[in-house]
Amino acid sequence: MELGMGIHGEPGLTRTRLGSADSVVTEMMDRILADMPLTKGDEALSTS
């Protein structure tokens, strides 16, 4: 599978074997959160 967003047929960020939903979400969230300007104490997701 390809991870990332390829628009109009461009490739994604990486190509890898299909993983579990947990591992795919972890990889995606690691990349998203690394790109966000969060500071200590900020919340990226609230479950309340």
- Tell me what pLDDT residue 47 has: 60
Bridge partners, residue 20, by sequence:
none
The string of pLDDT tens digits covering residues 1-48 is 888 776 777 777 888 899 999 998 888 888 888 888 778 888 776 565
Element of type H or E holding 15: strand 14-15
Element of type H or E holding 36: none
Element of type H or E holding 34: helix 21-35
- Tell me what pLDDT residue 41 has: 81
- Tell me what pLDDT residue 45 has: 67
- Tell me what pLDDT residue 20 has: 93
- Tell me what pLDDT residue 22 has: 92
